[in-house]
Amino acid sequence: MRHPLSLLEQRHSAPSRQLGEPGPAGDELLALLGAAIRVPDHGKLVPYRLILLQGESKRIFGERLAALSLRVNPDLPESKREKDRTRYEFAPLVVAVVAHLDPDSKVPVIEQKLSAGCVAYNLLLGAQALGYGAQWLTGWAAYDRDAAGVLGLADNEQVIGFVHIGTPQLDVPDRDRPALADVLRTWTP
């Protein structure tokens, strides 16, 4: 019998450049997305949005980001321009997880961002549960307002991360993890 926590114990990221077809689609994709949004949400604000990048839209998004980075840094080496241009093309699905923030809410903005972050993490767990690999990446585009404009984000929205999902093309070894004893303490008064 499988240990109830085995999914969490085995969770690891698969590098986005090693993710290929197939990826979740159709009803399976809808089920994954529906499960991913079952997150803590203080105040029922729904402080997150999902934007799917699939097919040709991934290439176009990368091209627009490469043009933005070149405008900001005209001396950008070709290798970095190429990386910006192609970084979204490997995995068959990239989900931009967006924090939709209400700064006037009684719920602190950090809690709203954490809720959106939980959506990104649920995508990682859900993809793994379905047999896919996934990686949560940010990069400069997650923090850049012009890149946010390419995605059509409002002023009160920001990218929490780009979750790349697909089938690992290589076995990905797990990385070293901290020992629990190194990060755990019990508070006593």
Domains, the chain, ranges and CATH? 12-171 (3.40.109.10)
1: confidence class by pLDDT, cuts 50, 70, 90 = confident
Report the Cα 88 to chain-centroid distance in Å: 12
Q: Residues 85-101: what's their mean pLDDT?
A: 97
- Tally of CB atoms within 10 A around 76: 15
Strand partners, 97: 50, 161
Number of residues that make up the chain: 189
At residue 94, does pLDDT exceed 80? Answer: yes
Average pLDDT in the chain: 96
| pLDDT value for 44 | 97
| For residue 108, cis peptide bond before it (omega within 30 degrees of 0) | no
Residue ranges for the binding site for FMN?
11-13, 38, 42, 136-138
72: confidence class by pLDDT, cuts 50, 70, 90 = confident
| pLDDT value for 159 | 98
- The CA distances from residue 167 to 12, 17, 77, 95, 163, in Å, are 14, 11, 31, 15, 13
Residue ranges for the binding site?
11-13, 38, 42, 136-138
Q: Residues 34-48: what's their mean pLDDT?
A: 97
Q: Which of 39, 37, 41, 36 is nearest to 107 (CA)?
A: 41
| pLDDT value for 30 | 98
Please indicate, yes or no, whether the overall pTM of this predicted structure exceeds 0.75: yes
| pLDDT value for 174 | 87
Give yes or no for a contact between 19 and 166, defined as CB atoms under 8 angstroms apart.
yes
158: confidence class by pLDDT, cuts 50, 70, 90 = very high
At residue 164, does pLDDT exceed 90? Answer: yes
At residue 173, does pLDDT exceed 90? Answer: no
At residue 130, does pLDDT exceed 80? Answer: yes
- For residue 142 the two structure tokens come to 């997650």
